[in-house]
Structure 1
């Protein structure tokens, strides 16, 4: 799948969000990358054999205080791993959606442990 078609899956996942959530994404840059950089893998503490579909970089809303000067938050969706692991169009579309929602959850301060508790993995 070419990058433009894949990016459209990400756009669809964002457009499907209920309107109130879209307001919280105004200062969030959402990027599609083929794979994580060496620095991103280090930041996520990934071993060479680990796979990652997305990452959130920023200060979650739950950790912000008044007067903080913040750079835009960033969500990165990694195309190669998703395409490799989800072969059909339906599977890929669903996992891209799940990955986008997962990373948005981090923006709201929801940890990976809490997402596991909620059975959101």
Structure 2
């Protein structure tokens, strides 16, 4: 479960290393976000030392899609899936990814939610 002030890892090649959640989208009183939800984030750290190659800058505000959480997600067949980290992919205002590659696998849940752009960029599905 992701809420405001949560520090998240960025799993793409946009140049950001960590971001902080500043708002959970999807409702007036929605407090928590889970796999496949959109949030608004602020860039906290950059991945590389040379800031010229980075597509983002420190302090900028972006939308993000949650692709991995530590909290288990229960499937209909009774099994659960969880990851070792809370991770996001940065998205622009038109819901297109900022980066060109996603590092690591994505859950199959995103395939059902019609995120084909992100699935084609990733290394695999779980």
Return the TM-score normalized by structure 2.
Answer: 0.30
With a CA cutoff of 8 Å and minimum separation of 6, indicate the structure with the bigger relative contact order.
1
Larger fraction in strand: 2
Return the TM-score normalized by structure 1.
Answer: 0.31
